[in-house]
């Protein structure tokens, strides 16, 4: 079963929004706004991703892979950046999963696996415009 591009866009947006709320919950009372921000440009995102890969034991399961993605998310939040961690069951399979991280840089959406040090373009800023 193929996912439509529109569904993937909405899923990515939903995941980004879902990470804003937990990030804001780390604020102290009275701060009034979330301090997490998008990456200013691809170069900054790429350098950050390259310096923050998370290793995990291959074959240790989806839980370990997702824990690695959550570690990326925590490190990004500590640096003031908004990164989403996502896990889904691989389409057309049972018990196989896909885990990845996403972030916005200069309005475009990028993705990468938590153990990798290279981010990939998912959608351009123009494609995400209403």
Claim: this prediction has a pTM higher than 0.85: no
Closest CA to 24 of 15, 33, 16: 33
Judging by DSSP bridges, how do beta strands 97-105 and 120-123 pair with one another? unpaired
- Band of pLDDT at residue 48, cut at 50, 70 and 90: very high
Contact 45, 52 (CB under 8 A): no
Q: What is the mean pLDDT of the chain?
A: 81
Q: What is the pLDDT of residues 95-107, one digit of tens each?
A: 889 999 999 999 9
- Band of pLDDT at residue 55, cut at 50, 70 and 90: confident
Enumerate long-range contacts of 53-57, CB under 8 Å, 24 or more apart.
53/114, 53/115, 53/116, 53/117, 54/114, 54/115, 55/115, 56/114, 56/115
Given a cut of 70, whether residue 29 has pLDDT beyond it is no
Percent of the chain at pLDDT above 70?
A: 73
The predicted structure's pLDDT at residue 28: 52
């Amino acid at each position: 079963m193929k996912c439509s591009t529109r569904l993937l866009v909405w899923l990515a947006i939903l995941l980004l929004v879902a990470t804003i709320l937990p990030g804001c919950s780390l604020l102290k009372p009275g701060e009034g706004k979330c301090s997490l921000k998008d990456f200013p440009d691809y170069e900054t995102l790429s350098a950050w991703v390259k310096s923050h890969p998370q290793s995990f034991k291959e074959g240790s399961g989806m839980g370990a892979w997702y824990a690695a993605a959550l570690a990326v998310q925590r490190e990004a939040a500590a640096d003031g950046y908004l990164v989403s961690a996502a896990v889904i069951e691989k389409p057309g399979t049972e018990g196989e999963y896909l885990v990845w991280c996403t972030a916005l840089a200069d309005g475009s959406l990028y993705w990468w696996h938590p153990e990798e040090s290279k981010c990939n373009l998912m959608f351009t800023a123009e494609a995400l415009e209403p």
